[in-house]
Every structure is written in structure tokens, then in C-alpha cells.
């Protein structure tokens, strides 16, 4: 995790046993080149996902809980993955390094 001012960059590597690095429900494993994404921190992931599904958004997986929080990958209209992230640990929250 890197922070500079209001910008926070969190890098996660594929991890078959934990959190957002787990394989998808259909068994697809995460590999370099197709899983790079940025994360958007949200306060209530369940509510956000419900609203996006109602609006027709497509997801690569269901909500998973990892070490620092809950996450899900939504696909933007161009097919790019975006991680929606709800921190569980205080140190995983945006601005925790200030």
C-alpha cells in the first residue's frame, strides 16, 4: 500500500487461498494481464452491489471477504475490471496512513 496526499495505491497479487486473490466461482484463476484493476472504497458493499445489479452491472464474482475487507469485481462497460472494496480493518481504510 502506498499513499501520497489523498491518493492511495493498493497492490494485491493473486492468492489462491485468501480474499480477492481467490479463483472465481467457476474455477477461473487470476493471471497477470487480465486482473489488473483499481479499487474504489465503499462504505456499504452489499447495498452498492444490489444497486449496481439492479442497474444491469455485470460482476466477475460474488462478494468475498479477505484479510483487510470485503471485495467484489464489477466490469465496466468497456470490459475493464474494477474492485469495489469495503475495509474491515481500520488500517485498510483510505486515509489510515495519515
- C-alpha 17/C-alpha 2 separation (Å) is 24
- Residue 30 confidence (pLDDT) above 80: no
| pTM exceeds 0.95 | no
Q: What is the DSSP string of 68-82?
A: SEEEEEEE-TTS-EE
Alpha helices, H only, the chain = 45-54
What is the spatial distance between Cα 25 and Cα 27, in angstroms, rounded to a whole number? 5
Q: Over 70: is that where the pLDDT of 32 sits? A: no
Choose between 20 and 33: higher pLDDT: 20
Q: Which domains does the chain have, with CATH numbers?
A: 2-13+32-92 (3.10.180.10)
Amino acid at each position: 500500500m502506498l499513499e501520497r496526499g489523498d491518493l492511495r495505491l493498493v497492490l494485491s497479487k493473486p492468492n489462491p487461498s485468501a480474499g480477492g486473490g481467490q479463483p472465481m466461482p467457476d474455477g477461473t484463476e487470476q493471471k497477470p494481464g487480465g486482473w489488473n484493476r483499481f479499487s474504489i472504497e465503499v462504505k456499504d458493499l452489499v447495498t452498492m452491489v444490489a444497486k449496481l445489479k439492479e442497474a444491469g452491472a455485470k460482476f466477475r464474482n460474488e462478494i468475498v471477504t479477505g484479510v483487510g475487507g470485503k471485495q467484489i469485481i464489477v466490469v465496466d462497460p468497456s470490459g475493464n475490471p474494477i474492485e469495489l472494496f469495503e475495509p474491515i480493518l481500520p488500517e485498510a481504510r483510505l486515509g489510515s496512513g495519515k
